């Protein structure tokens, strides 16, 4: 029997229709003022430029507006902080996205943490991470929060399950593990120094691949009946997990593309609408 496909693309489309109605209501209640997301792109990395454009287009589809900030490759930390502070002070800006990565001379963490908590709709600040970890109100990091929304939408049981997260990045692996822990899963975090990785992955009821290396996680490491979430995307349409061999043995899986990716952008937009609702209503 084929595994259930956790279709993030269709879920994102459904959510966009709901968000359009919420944006319309916000405009009607606030003299036509739409929620506004500010996107900051530093440098000329083509992939980053594409991602930012996709986020701006998602805003347009639901009637939101965006402020596009583009800064040169030579931008300093001080210049970027000044721009973030300007957006923090702008009452017409409801969410701020600083596209990762920034050029090497910039202190990215300092710039992320300069984003006001109420505008941290991408969930990148240490303050937001800490609040999320403690089950306090916060905007979750967009990719793991999007994954949690997929699992919830498809009624994937998490309580009491053993979740294995492969990857420990501050905006994916770490928050993913804590979100699963908050959902009462038992969580193991694996990384580049983990010994006997295949045996740990074999224990996973819920597996999240977030290593950033194409098909690094092999199908033979995954036990039958697991729920498999692939947060990677690489040229040729490959994820971090060898998916093709497990489509008849897993309980459910996220396809690549069309699984986690659409829900990352959708979660960013959802959280910006939520921020605007708190501010405008």
Q: Of these residues, 55, 83, 119, 161, which one is catalytic?
A: 55
Is position 224 annotated as part of the catalytic site?
no
Question: Cα separation of 109 and 148, whole Å?
Answer: 25
Active site residue 279: no
* Candidates 7, 83, 99, 205; catalytic one: 99
Catalytic residue among 7, 113, 120, 122: 122
Catalytic annotation on 74? no
Q: How many CA atoms lie within 13 A of 198 on its CB side?
A: 5
Q: Which residues contact 277 (CB under 8 A, 6 or more apart)?
A: 22, 26
Q: What does the angle CA 252 – CA 15 – CA 269 come to, to the nearest 5 degrees?
A: 110
Residues annotated as part of the active site: 55, 99, 122
């Amino acid at each position: 029997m084929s595994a259930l496909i956790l279709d993030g693309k269709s879920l994102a489309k459904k959510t966009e229709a709901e968000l359009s109605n919420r944006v319309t209501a916000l405009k009607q209640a606030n003299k036509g003022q739409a929620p506004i997301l500010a996107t900051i792109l530093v440098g000329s990395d083509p992939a980053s430029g594409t991602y930012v454009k996709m986020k701006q287009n998602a805003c347009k589809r639901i009637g939101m507006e965006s402020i596009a900030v583009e800064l040169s490759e030579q931008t300093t930390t001080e210049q970027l902080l000044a721009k973030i502070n300007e957006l923090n002070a702008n009452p017409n800006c409801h969410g701020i996205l600083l596209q990762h990565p920034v050029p090497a001379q910039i202190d990215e963490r300092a710039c992320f943490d300069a984003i006001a908590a109420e505008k941290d709709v991408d969930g990148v600040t240490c303050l937001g991470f800490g609040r999320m970890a403690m089950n306090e109100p916060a905007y979750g990091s967009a990719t793991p929060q999007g994954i949690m929304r997929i699992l919830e939408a498809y009624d994937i049981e998490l309580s009491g399950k053993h979740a294995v997260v492969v990857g420990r990045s501050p905006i994916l692996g770490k928050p993913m593990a804590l979100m699963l822990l908050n959902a009462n899963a038992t969580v193991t975090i694996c990384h580049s120094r983990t010994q006997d990785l295949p045996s740990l992955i074999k224990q996973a009821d819920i597996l999240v691949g977030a290593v950033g290396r194409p098909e690094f996680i092999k199908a033979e490491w995954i036990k039958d009946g697991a729920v498999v979430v692939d947060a990677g995307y690489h040229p040729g349409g490959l994820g971090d997990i060898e998916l093709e061999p497990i489509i008849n043995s897993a309980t459910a899986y996220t396809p690549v593309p069309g699984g986690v990716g659409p829900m990352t952008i959708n979660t960013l937009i959802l959280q910006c609408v939520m921020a605007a609702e708190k501010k405008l209503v």
